[in-house]
Amino acid sequence: MKQSSLFQAFSAVIKRDLVLAYRHRAELINPLAFFVMVITLFPLALGAEITLLKRIAPAIIWVAALLASLMSIDNLFRSDYDDGSLELMVMTPHSLSVLVLAKVTAHWLLSSVPLLFIAPLMGLMLHMDSDVIGVLLLTLLLGMPVLSLIGGIAVALTLGLRKGGTLMAVLVLPLYVPILIFASGAVDAAMCGFPISGHLSMMCAILFLAITLTPLPTATALKMSLS
Amino acid sequence: MNTKKLEARELFCIRDERVLFSGLNFTLTSGQVLLIEGRNGAGKTSLLRILTGFRKPESGDLFWSDERIDDTQQFYQDTAYIGHNNGLKDTLTAEENLRYARALAISTLSIDDAMAQVGLNGYQETVVRFMSAGQRRRLALARLLCTHKPLWILDEPFTSLDRASIKLFEQFIETHANQGGLVIMTSHHDTSIPHTILQKIHL
């Protein structure tokens, strides 16, 4: 008889969420389809202006990715809250922050990693240069986890509300702004041939800050939502 | 299992500006069952949620083995809770649900043994969505059996169970108490749990 290790608990949470997502494949496709649809509509609306398209392509892709992430994050704790498994997760001897981090990691794996594979195709479609696409991917890799981590706080805070979706978006969008600014700054710099290391370092710093700081308030908000 | 004790001192709870209970005291030691009775809306569930640490009482303290419950981490290692919802994932199979619960706690019985004991043998691969309400309740009971938790907190454990299952559930509660466990439960049903180990609180 031994208490399961923190690592076992962490991987059990991730594994469970991945299996659950696999059983609800349709929900998994939604954000991806949204991402592709938004991006394909832009060239149609802008007309045959390749230079303009090329110029705004990174912004389009980033905004679409941000909204796709926002779309899927509402369900991060919702179903667990509804069926009582959140109580089970809170009532473990393990640190809830770490389990929260596991849930957010699962969300990132499910919602952002597929986008990383489609984004280069979208970039090619919008006439982006291949080296700029590389930088874009790098910013998505560094920035998307931050979106999931920050979104987690807002989701946990609005969990007790029946229709918390809009409020959550209002809470979370301002916090998404810095990562959007640094990401598009990096891609802009790459397009003009300037060094991008400054922007990327800043994004790395934000990522590490978010990994260390956001699980704690998320865990606290989850506990509050149960009272 | 060494002796455990849950003690509540002067618990006071207000909900929606109504006093649900005040000056509530009790001591529950290993081997005892606490039955909380009361009409609908009397505060049974609120009391259970205070005991699980989800809610803070307006005033009053809780002690687990003579230590004040501040750090719930230690307390949660020893505590299992079944609420109105069973805490089961609809789209996972029975076995996957139990395996997940075991990964978060100290495991005792094997999954197959626990499921056989609650009469769900052969349902391992069944998705919970296709189980009846009573079977889900029994699966939640199997979760209690396959993890090591001295204190069980059960909110209306007998809802949607048939007479035979209620009897089975009561037997497990009794066995758990006899093995040195503690059980706190709310119920509308008359129970056949022997009075020697039963304490009652009427809200």
Can you state the angle between helices A75-83 and A130-157, rounded to 10 degrees? 30
Answer whether A181 touches B (CB < 8 Å): no
Q: A9, B100: Cβ pair inside 8 Å? A: no
Q: Is the model's pLDDT at B135 over the cut of 60?
A: yes
At residue A185, the pLDDT reads 92
Residue type, B3: T
Q: How far apart are CA B187 and CA B170, in angstroms?
A: 12
Q: A93, B76: Cβ pair inside 8 Å? A: yes
CA angle A80, A213, A9 (to 5 degrees): 45
Please give the helix or strand (H or E) that residue A177 lies within, else none.
helix A165-192
The mean per-residue pLDDT over the stretch B148-165 comes to 88
Reduced to 3 states (helix: H, G, I; strand: E, B; else coil), residue A3 is: strand
* Cβ-proximal residues to B113 (8 Å cutoff; 6+ apart), any chain: B145, B146
Partners of B201 in the β-ladder: B36
At residue A2, the pLDDT reads 73
Tens place of pLDDT for every residue, chain A, 227 residues?
677 788 999 999 999 999 999 998 888 899 999 999 999 999 899 887 888 888 899 999 999 999 999 988 888 998 899 888 999 899 888 899 999 999 999 999 999 999 999 999 999 999 999 999 999 999 999 999 999 999 999 999 998 887 777 888 889 999 999 999 999 999 999 998 899 999 999 999 999 999 999 999 999 999 999 88
Answer whether A16 touches B (CB < 8 Å): yes
**Residues B119 and B151: beta-carbon distance below 8 Å:** no
Q: In A, which residues are within 8 Å of B104 by CB distance?
A: 4, 9, 12, 88-89, 92, 94
pLDDT (tens digit per residue) in B75-106:
888 899 998 888 899 999 999 999 999 888 88
Q: Is the model's pLDDT at B58 over the cut of 60?
A: yes
Instruction: Report the share of chain A in percent with pLDDT over 90.
Output: 67
Nearest chain A residue to B136 by CA: give it.
Answer: A83
Answer whether A5 touches B (CB < 8 Å): no
**Residues A59 and A125: beta-carbon distance below 8 Å:** no
**Residues A190 and A196: beta-carbon distance below 8 Å:** yes
* Cβ-proximal residues to A99 (8 Å cutoff; 6+ apart), any chain: A9, A10, A13, A89, A92, A219
pLDDT (tens digit per residue) in A188-217:
999 988 999 999 999 999 999 999 999 999
Q: Where are the domains of chain A?
A: 6-226
At residue A217, the pLDDT reads 95
Stated pTM of the model: 0.91
A94 → closest Cβ in B104, B108, B148: B104
Q: Is the model's pLDDT at B107 over the cut of 60?
A: yes
Name residue, tokens 């946990």: A156
Q: DSSP letters along B68-122, please?
A: ES--HHHHHHSEEEE-SS----TTSBHHHHHHHHHHTSBB-S-HHHHHHHTT-TT
B54 → closest Cβ in A83, A85, A227: A227
Range with the lowest mean pLDDT among A11-20, B130-139, B194-203?
B194-203
Q: How confident is the model at residue B1 (pLDDT cuts 50, 70, 90)?
A: low
Answer whether B2 touches A (CB < 8 Å): no
A83 → closest Cβ in B87, B99, B100: B87
At residue A1, the pLDDT reads 62
A23 → closest Cβ in B85, B91, B101: B91
Q: How far apart are CA B44 and CA B41, in angstroms?
A: 7
What's the distance, CA B9 to chain centroid? 20
Answer whether B106 touches A (CB < 8 Å): yes
**Residues B91 and A23: beta-carbon distance below 8 Å:** yes
Name residue, tokens 């931050």: A146
At residue A26, the pLDDT reads 85
pLDDT (tens digit per residue) in B22-42:
888 999 999 999 999 888 888
CA–CA distances in Å: residue B146 to residues B81, B113, B185: 14, 8, 19
At residue A109, the pLDDT reads 93
Interface ipTM > 0.90: no
At residue A24, the pLDDT reads 87
Q: A84, B49: Cβ pair inside 8 Å? A: no
Report the 10 Å Cβ neighbour count for B195: 8
Handedness of CA B179, A95, B13, B69 (dihedral sign): positive
Q: What is the mean pLDDT of chain B?
A: 88
**Residues B180 and B28: beta-carbon distance below 8 Å:** no
